Chain A
Amino acid sequence: MRLADTPIQKKLMRIIILISGIVALVICTTFCAFEFYTFRQNTIEKLSTLGKIISTNSTAALAFDNSKDGNEILAALKAEPHIVMACLYDDEGRLFSKYPANLNNNSFPKKQASAGYYFKEWSIQGFQPVGIGNRHLGTLYLKSDLGQVYYRFKLYIFVTLIVISLSLLLAAILSGILQKSISIPILTLAQTAKAISLKGDYSVRAIKLGDDELGLLTDAFNQMLIQIQQQNQVLSEFNKNLEQKVLERTDELEMLNKDLQESEQQIQTIFDSAPDAVIVIDMDSTVVKWNPKAEIFFGWKAQEIIGKHLYDFIIPPSQRDAYRTGIRHFLTTGEGSLLNKTVELDALNREGKLFNASLSISPTLIKGKYLFIGFVRDITEIKKAETELKQKSIELVRSNGELEQFAYVASHDLQEPLRMITSYVQLLSHRYKDKLDQDANDFIAFAVDGSNRMRVLINDLLQYSRANTVKPFEWIDVDKMLTDILKTLEVSIKESKAGISWGKLPEIYGDKILIGQLFQNLIGNSIKFVGTEKPEILISGKKVNNEYLFSVKDNGIGIKNEYLDKIFVIFKRLHNTEEYPGTGIGLAICKKIVERHGGTIWVESELGKGSTFYFTLMANPG
């Protein structure tokens, strides 16, 4: 079993035992080594002391050349069992005495090393000089075995082993007891964790056994469990929500599907009942859809034409190449001259007859492929009607022209006899005023008045007809033009005490005489149809988009709503001649002038409070 896999209790015990073992070993080894070294030193010292005693005792033997005595002295070493060999040399280096006495001379070292003791060949040996005072007498050699040292050494090792064994035993017992304070909380925690992971029950809590780091760990673990529990709850709620959402979304999708089906149905209905032929083709011009109207227009049934090339059926042979080129052009450039607008062209029906058709083509991109939807209408009837209308319109223009010519000629030619009537009636009045009775005078007065009115009428009619003949347009300074008009109207302005004002006005482009008449008529009207107050007239004008918009505002009698459209009709009068004189042509002339300049004229009014006449003129009638 690997150390990492060992249970924590064993691990802790092993660590403690190992550490205490190592500590004990180190201490004992150090102690042993120290003791051993000390003992060796002691042994050397002891040997040295012994040597000193012997050498002191053997001085006389050496001095007086008595080797027997020397032998006797050395023999005393018997008392020291570890001394295996000893000898004395005389001052000439010759072996003098020896111990043990029976040992061969050759066993003793021949050569004397320098003084001192040392370890050599599993023994302690050494030389020591023998002398008296400064006098050298000889040398002592001693050799001791290491029995003593080794005995001591063995003793140390034995004691060390016992000490280590005891400390290991003690460490084992103590660690067995003490490791519980660490391992039990961990094991408890581990068991809790295991139980939780097995059962998946996150409501379980680990029991805290103390406030140390393991206590903190337990707290953190419990905190974690709480968080997991909360997160689980959130997650399950989220899941529930998700399911709910999926259900809702499914419902929505079903609804959408239903809607889609309905709208498809609608589209199909539209497709089926459309007044136009609806034809759908793909990029290869293959017919995809063909509605009932198309069947009627072209005579081909849907099942006959779907899946076939369109141009083989309904496009006249003369236009097929142009059609193909157009499609190709669109597919490469995205542009097409026939797309998204209505064009008129000839189409071919089943009988091979050409007919007028209006066509609009809309390309639509579906799944990366273009489909072209074509709406085709049979416009044969419309074309016919159009032609008729054109002819009628030409006739109308011609008759209108004749009518205007007639009106001009009539009014012009009418002036001459009218002038004659007027002149002679006036002559009659002057000459026979006193000779005729009152009735005759009144009749003559009526006749003069009638001929005068007729003259005005004819003048107005002439003006109206003249409005048709337009002179070349020019730039008009409206401000100056209005000043001139005021001079013309000076008398009536003075009479009515009218106030006429205008702001800054744009220059306009048009027929100077006609525009002048337009303004004069409108201002004249405003002065004429005065109410209870003295007339105040405001003229304004500005450029709006491509037009000039002018307005002439007064505080006159105003116009009833029901008459707002009628006042521009020729000879339409709202009042009799006694109330407000006039021919009923003025506003008709205004309308004609405005229309000649590409504009419109209308009025806004409130009865009794005043009217505002608006008209527009094309900025650039071109």
Chain B
Amino acid sequence: MPLFRASLLKCVCGLALLVLDICMATAQTPAVREYQIKAVFLFNFTQFVEWPASSFPTDHSPFVIGIIGKDPFGSYLKEVVSGEKTNGHPIVVEHYANSTEIGLCHILFISVSEEKNLGQIIAKLKGQNVLLVSDSPDFLNQGGMIRFLTKNNRIQLQINLSTAKMTNLMISSKLLKLADTISSPQSQ
């Protein structure tokens, strides 16, 4: 929905938004709403996680949010990140059909459709400075880093600190404070 674009939000006054928001909430299905939030969260990770400079070929290389498998965000994620930058890197969204297509990316959202390939994908990116995010219940145990957990109609974050520490990614303490941290020993 174009009305929820971040750039637009900055321009429209709060009262109008409140009214529209109520309308949207009734008009949209809970699933759509859930992924809209998750899209924003994906974008927010760019603010609370620090990538080493080596993960960018140049200073102006794009910050790539990759989606593997079936894209649950529709066009929404693209709209959220459109025009946004993190540390001078323009944020772009890329889609990968399978693990072979995965290119240079900084955040990789593994769709539920690739649940069966989780191990393969994680293994492929092991040691790389890529933040692995997914909805899959078993994601963290398989070596994922951040999982969206929908509970009481709220989206919560679960972070596997052990896997995160294996990379050079620095996750903000503020983010960690919000999330449930799991420190499972690497199973693989």
A66–B177 alpha-carbon span in the complex (Å):
10
A-B contact pairs, 11 of them (CB 8 A): A60-B48, A64-B41, A64-B157, A64-B175, A65-B154, A91-B9, A93-B15, A93-B17, A93-B18, A112-B14, A135-B47
Residues from chain B with a CB closer than 8 A to the CB of A133 are 47, 86
CB atoms of B44 and A64 under 8 A apart: yes
| In the complex with contacts A65-B37, A136-B10, A60-B174 CB distance below 8 A | yes
B178 at the interface (CB under 8 A from A): yes
A172 at the interface (CB under 8 A from B): no
CB atoms of A60 and B175 under 8 A apart: yes
A93–B22 alpha-carbon span in the complex (Å):
13
A57–B172 alpha-carbon span in the complex (Å):
11
CB atoms of B177 and A60 under 8 A apart: yes
A61 at the interface (CB under 8 A from B): yes
A555 at the interface (CB under 8 A from B): no
Query: Among the listed A92, A94, A112, which residue makes an inter-chain contact with B9, where contact means beta carbons less than 8 Å apart?
Result: A92
Query: Among the listed A63, A69, A91, A112, which residue makes an inter-chain contact with B47, where contact means beta carbons less than 8 Å apart?
Result: A63
Interchain nearest-CB distance for B180 vs A (Å): 11
Residues from chain B with a CB closer than 8 A to the CB of A112 are 14
A132 at the interface (CB under 8 A from B): yes
The 0/1 profile, CB within 8 Å of B marked 1, for residues 472-487 of chain A is 0000000000000000
| In the complex with contacts A132-B47, A136-B10, A61-B18 CB distance below 8 A | no
> Chain A residue with minimal CB distance to B20?
A92
CB atoms of A93 and B14 under 8 A apart: yes
> Chain A residue with minimal CB distance to B175?
A60
B155 at the interface (CB under 8 A from A): yes
A sample of 17 more A-B contacts (CB under 8 A), given A61-B174, A64-B41, A132-B48, is: A59-B47, A59-B174, A60-B48, A60-B172, A60-B178, A63-B48, A64-B175, A65-B37, A65-B154, A65-B155, A69-B177, A69-B178, A133-B47, A133-B86, A135-B6, A135-B47, A136-B10
B21 at the interface (CB under 8 A from A): yes
Of the four ranges (under 10, 10 to 19, 20 to 34, 35 or more), the interface on chain A belongs to 10 to 19
The 0/1 profile, CB within 8 Å of A marked 1, for residues 148-188 of chain B is 00000011010000000000000010110110000000000
A80–B145 alpha-carbon span in the complex (Å):
38
A65–B47 alpha-carbon span in the complex (Å):
14
CB atoms of B174 and A92 under 8 A apart: no
Interchain nearest-CB distance for A59 vs B (Å): 6
CB atoms of B178 and A92 under 8 A apart: no
Of the four ranges (under 10, 10 to 19, 20 to 34, 35 or more), the interface on chain B belongs to 20 to 34
Residues from chain A with a CB closer than 8 A to the CB of B6 are 135
A64–B179 alpha-carbon span in the complex (Å):
9
| In the complex with contacts A69-B178, A112-B14, A135-B47, A92-B21 CB distance below 8 A | yes
Interchain nearest-CB distance for A510 vs B (Å): 158
The 0/1 profile, CB within 8 Å of B marked 1, for residues 78-96 of chain A is 0000000000000111100
Give the A-binding residues of B (Cβ under 8 A). 6, 9-10, 14-15, 17-18, 21, 37, 41, 44, 47-48, 84, 86, 154-155, 157, 172, 174-175, 177-178
Query: Among the listed A64, A94, A132, A136, which residue makes an inter-chain contact with B178, where contact means beta carbons less than 8 Å apart?
Result: A64
A94–B25 alpha-carbon span in the complex (Å):
15
Residues from chain A with a CB closer than 8 A to the CB of B14 are 92-93, 112
Provide the main secondary structure of the chain B interface: helix
CB atoms of B178 and A61 under 8 A apart: yes
Q: Which of A63, A65, A132, A136: most chain B CB closer than 10 A? A: A63
Residues from chain A with a CB closer than 8 A to the CB of B21 are 92
Residues from chain B with a CB closer than 8 A to the CB of A64 are 41, 44, 157, 175, 178
Residues from chain B with a CB closer than 8 A to the CB of A66 are 178
A135–B80 alpha-carbon span in the complex (Å):
12
A135–B85 alpha-carbon span in the complex (Å):
10
| In the complex with contacts A133-B47, A135-B47, A57-B174 CB distance below 8 A | yes
Residues from chain B with a CB closer than 8 A to the CB of A63 are 41, 44, 47-48
Q: Which of A54-74 contact B (CB under 8 A)?
A: 57, 59-61, 63-66, 69
Residues from chain B with a CB closer than 8 A to the CB of A59 are 47, 174
The 10 closest A-B pairs by CB, nearest first: A93-B14, A60-B174, A63-B44, A132-B47, A92-B17, A66-B178, A64-B178, A60-B178, A60-B175, A69-B178
Residues from chain B with a CB closer than 8 A to the CB of A91 are 9
Residues from chain B with a CB closer than 8 A to the CB of A61 are 174, 178
Interchain nearest-CB distance for B185 vs A (Å): 27
Interchain nearest-CB distance for A113 vs B (Å): 12
A69–B48 alpha-carbon span in the complex (Å):
16
A69–B14 alpha-carbon span in the complex (Å):
23
Interchain nearest-CB distance for B30 vs A (Å): 15
Q: Which of A125-150 contact B (CB under 8 A)?
A: 132-133, 135-136
Query: Among the listed B18, B41, B86, which residue makes an inter-chain contact with A94, where contact means beta carbons less than 8 Å apart?
Result: B18
> Chain B residue with minimal CB distance to A66?
B178
Residues from chain B with a CB closer than 8 A to the CB of A65 are 37, 154-155
Interchain nearest-CB distance for B49 vs A (Å): 11
A91–B18 alpha-carbon span in the complex (Å):
11
A132–B172 alpha-carbon span in the complex (Å):
12
Q: Which of A57, A64, A93, A94: most chain B CB closer than 10 A? A: A64
Residues from chain B with a CB closer than 8 A to the CB of A69 are 177-178
Residues from chain A with a CB closer than 8 A to the CB of B10 are 136
Residues from chain A with a CB closer than 8 A to the CB of B157 are 64
Interchain nearest-CB distance for A89 vs B (Å): 8
> Chain A residue with minimal CB distance to B12?
A92
A60–B155 alpha-carbon span in the complex (Å):
14
CB atoms of A92 and B177 under 8 A apart: no
A133–B88 alpha-carbon span in the complex (Å):
11
A57–B14 alpha-carbon span in the complex (Å):
23
CB atoms of A92 and B18 under 8 A apart: yes
Interchain nearest-CB distance for A430 vs B (Å): 201
A93–B17 alpha-carbon span in the complex (Å):
9
Residues from chain B with a CB closer than 8 A to the CB of A57 are 174
Q: Which of A325-344 contact B (CB under 8 A)?
A: none
Residues from chain A with a CB closer than 8 A to the CB of B18 are 92-94
A136–B47 alpha-carbon span in the complex (Å):
12
